[in-house]
């Protein structure tokens, strides 16, 4: 275990099994379709890699950036969305792939951004859901795990751009935030 970690919340094995189940669910729900997976960078990158490989269908994969956080652990509510270029969304079955749904402000802004481009359908798939902290009225269609109301890192999630590469989801020792 990494020296800065206080507690592992979801282990590598638990996450692998759960992603396999989610992939089977999505495969069944989208049979005969070619879903467009839109990953929300950067936190999605590990989850997207695994979930995409567990979906047994042709998929298109694109990325979008959205950020409401600096190096702090509290959402600012001010969401910036970026696309490298305006890829086609109209008529597609879009699944947004997120690392964590917290206040919901990021996904609420992204949902409006995507709906304005007239997809055939839009669903949200998140590895972690922290319903205790929701501000926007938004709920995921596919959830890996309900997450306790604390700041977590690993499996793509960062604190000040670190810990994304940890293969599990964990909480940090309190002294890490005060350094």
Chain residues that interact with Mg ion, rule: CB under 5 A: 43, 99
Tell me if 9 sits within 8 A of 152, measured CB to CB.
yes
Contacted by 104, from Mg ion, ligand IMP, none: CB < 5 to 8 Å by type: ligand IMP
Q: In angstroms, give the least distance from the CB of 171 to ligand IMP.
A: 9
Tell me if 76 sits within 8 A of 133, measured CB to CB.
no
| Helical ranges in 30-123 per DSSP H | 45-54, 105-115
Contacted by 96, from Mg ion, ligand IMP, none: CB < 5 to 8 Å by type: none
21-40 binders of ligand IMP (CB under 6 A) = none
Helices 12-29 and 45-54: crossing angle in degrees, nearest 10, is 50
Tell me if 34 sits within 8 A of 93, measured CB to CB.
yes
52-71 binders of ligand IMP (CB under 6 A) = 68-69
Identify the residue among 27, 54, 75, 121 touching ligand IMP (CB under 6 A): 75
Residues designated catalytic: 102
Tell me if 68 sits within 8 A of 80, measured CB to CB.
yes
Task: Determine the interface stretch with ligand IMP among 3-11, 13-21, 85-93, 149-157 (rule: CB under 6 A).
Answer: 149-157
């Amino acid at each position: 275990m990494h020296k800065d970690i206080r507690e592992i919340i979801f282990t590598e094995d638990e996450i692998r099994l759960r992603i396999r189940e989610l992939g089977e669910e999505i495969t069944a729900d989208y049979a005969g379709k070619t879903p467009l997976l839109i990953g929300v960078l950067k936190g999605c990158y590990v989850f997207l890699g695994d979930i995409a490989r567990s979906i047994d269908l042709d998929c298109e994969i694109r990325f979008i950036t959205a950020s409401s956080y600096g190096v702090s652990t509290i959402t600012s509510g001010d969401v910036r969305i970026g696309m490298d270029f305006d890829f086609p969304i109209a008529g597609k079955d879009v699944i947004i792939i997120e690392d964590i749904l917290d206040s919901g402000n990021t996904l609420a802004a992204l949902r409006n951004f995507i709906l304005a481009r007239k997809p055939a359908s839009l669903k949200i798939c998140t590895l972690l859901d922290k319903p205790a902290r929701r501000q926007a009225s938004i709920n995921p269609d596919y959830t890996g795990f309900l997450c306790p109301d604390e700041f977590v890192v690993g499996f793509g999630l960062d604190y000040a751009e670190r810990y994304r590469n940890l293969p599990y989801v964990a909480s940090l020792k309190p002294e890490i935030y005060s350094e």
